[in-house]
C-alpha cells in the first residue's frame, strides 16, 4: 500500500510506527545520525532526548516513540518526520520526493487512479514496442 502524507499527526505516526515496526525507524535515525557525523551523545544533547532512550529507539527496543520525540530528532537531523518514517519505502522502491510531489500535483488537479493506471500501461506498451 502506498501512502501519501502531507501532515504527520500523532495518530498517523503511531499507526505507522505500529504497522511498519520501530526497528526501521530506529535504523533510519541511526543512519541519518551517522551521515550527519553525530554521536549518540551529541544527538541526545541537541534533541533533548536521553541517550539511553535514543539507543533503545535505534536498536528497536523502544516500541512506541512518540511523534513529539520523533519530531525533535528529525529537527536535529535536519529532516522531516515523514522522511524518517518513510525512509525504508524510498530506499526499497527508489521513490524520491519529486515523484511524490508530481503525484500530489496530479491528484490536486483531479487526476484519477484509473487515468494514471492507463498512462502507466501506455508507457509499458511503448517500451515494449520495437521500432
pLDDT tens-place string over residues 64-119: 788 889 999 999 999 888 788 775 455 545 566 777 788 888 888 999 989 988 98
Whole-number CA gyration radius for the chain: 18
List the domains of the chain with CATH numbers: 10-95 (1.10.260.40), 96-131 (no CATH)
Check whether 12 has a pLDDT greater than 60. no
DSSP classification of residue 7: S
pTM to 2 decimal places: 0.54
CA neighbours closer than 13 Å in the CB half-sphere of residue 45: 5
Band (18; pLDDT cuts 50, 70, 90): very low
Amino acid at each position: 500500500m502506498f501512502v501519501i502524507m502531507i501532515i504527520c499527526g500523532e495518530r498517523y505516526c503511531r499507526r505507522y510506527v505500529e504497522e511498519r515496526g520501530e526497528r526501521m525507524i530506529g535504523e533510519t535515525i541511526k543512519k541519518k545520525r551517522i551521515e550527519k557525523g553525530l554521536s549518540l551523545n551529541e544527538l541526545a544533547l541537541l534533541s533533548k532526548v536521553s541517550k539511553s532512550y535514543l539507543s533503545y529507539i535505534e536498536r528497536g527496543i523502544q516500541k512506541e516513540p512518540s511523534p513529539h520525540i520523533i519530531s525533535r530528532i528529525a529537527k536535529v537531523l535536519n529532516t522531516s518526520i515523514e522522511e524518517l518514517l518513510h525512509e525504508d519505502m524510498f530506499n526499497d522502491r527508489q521513490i524520491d520526493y519529486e515523484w511524490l510531489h508530481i503525484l500530489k500535483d496530479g491528484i490536486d488537479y483531479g487526476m484519477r487512479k484509473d487515468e494514471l493506471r492507463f498512462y502507466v500501461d501506455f508507457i509499458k506498451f511503448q517500451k515494449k514496442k520495437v521500432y
